[in-house]
Chains A and B, each alone.
Chain A
Amino acid sequence: MKLSDKVTISAQVMARVVGDETVILDLASGTYYGLDMVGARMWQLMTEGQTLAQVCETMLAEYEVSSEDIERDVLALVQTLLEKQLVSADV
């Protein structure tokens, strides 16, 4: 994945905001996943159709972290979501 890419949420995925977190259910496998507050915000931005670069830019404005850390964390989250087939790459 490149920062200029976007992701598309898989059709069988349900995501709900619960408190400060987001809980995801993969209907295909019946598996549940949890995203903490930071991950939930990244997920929300990705699902709004932003490129990964735009997600990083928004996160940088909201959190006091370096751009290298944000890029690493966003790409790591995307990689996990791809492996679990919760999203697909929209290159």
Chain B
Amino acid sequence: MSVSLQTLGARPQAPLSQKPFHQWTFPNGTEWTLFYRLNSGYLLRFPDLADFEVSRDGRIAAVWPAPGVSPGTVEHLHLNQVLPLALSRQGRLVLHASAVEIDGKGVAFTGESGRGKSTLAASFATTGSRFLTDDGLQLDWLDGQCRITPSHPSVRLWEDSQDALIPQAVDLAPAVEYTTKARLLAGDAMVFCDQSQPLRRVYFLGEGVGQSLIIEAVQPAEALMQLVRNSFLLDIEEKELLAWHFDEMVRLAELPIYYRLDYPRCYEDLPHVRGAIIRHVLDEES
């Protein structure tokens, strides 16, 4: 399943008479995304950037860039914001999480923005492992096993992480208007895994205020709430979809794979963090 995107001509964002049913704002209160219902589905408005219309079933999207907005910005918005939400309308499970493949096992990292999901993914992908996604983690059940479906072969990083982790051989996508994060493209120096992997670990990332690395098991009910908190779901007011999503979250939460992971955020310590994660992933499999 995928989302068919049609890019239309640039057009100014006309005021709408209806109020959004939902919105995302930045910590400073600036509007980031406004959600409107249409007869045909949904309008996702990124003020001064683009309007995306998504069909009710999530299979078709159309975008009108605001005047002067680059194609790279539109692609960035589609990949990182609209696509995960559209997939949720298709009945797909999508988490705010990065994921890597370690010895044939899918390992996910989830948590609030800024906790280090992408940094960990890039750190593994540039040191012998492979990454499956840096956000918008897609999960699918196959023969009773939960599997990670690979997403787009790129990782977005802030400049400091890029400087600390990424060899100069890694290619960049064009810059975008609304963020200084760079999109780094997979290649020989930052390796992408294009095959689905069984989900074996989910680590909920802490704030990094402690003095040492910790890994602690998380009980199913707490895991459920974390999964809910970190899911993409377009239109949480639609009860049928919300009910379906709840049961899917319960099914996921019952897997014995959830841990809290926290560590001091220091680039020099990443080899130690990676080593601890690898040992933890491999230990319980033997």
Binding site for B on A (CB under 8 A): 12, 14, 16, 18-21, 23, 25, 27-28, 30, 32, 34
A12 contact from B221, B236, B239, Cβ within 8 A: B239
Binding site for A on B (CB under 8 A): 219-221, 224-225, 228, 236-237, 239, 242-243, 246-247, 250, 253-254
Report how far A30 CA is from B231 CA in the complex, Å.
14
Distance to closest chain A CB from B164 (angstroms): 37
Secondary structure of the B contact surface, majority rule: helix
B239 contact from A16, A20, A27, Cβ within 8 A: A27
Report how far A1 CA is from B57 CA in the complex, Å.
45
Distance to closest chain B CB from A13 (angstroms): 11
In the complex, the answer to whether B253 meets A18 with C-beta atoms within 8 Å is: yes
B250 contact from A12, A18, A27, A30, Cβ within 8 A: A18
In the complex, the answer to whether B221 meets A34 with C-beta atoms within 8 Å is: yes
Which residue of chain A has the shortest Cβ distance to B245 in the bound complex?
A25
- Measured between beta carbons, the chain A residues less than 8 angstroms from B254 are 18-19
Report how far A50 CA is from B250 CA in the complex, Å.
27
Report how far A25 CA is from B240 CA in the complex, Å.
12
A19 contact from B220, B239, B243, Cβ within 8 A: B220
- Measured between beta carbons, the chain A residues less than 8 angstroms from B250 are 16, 18, 23
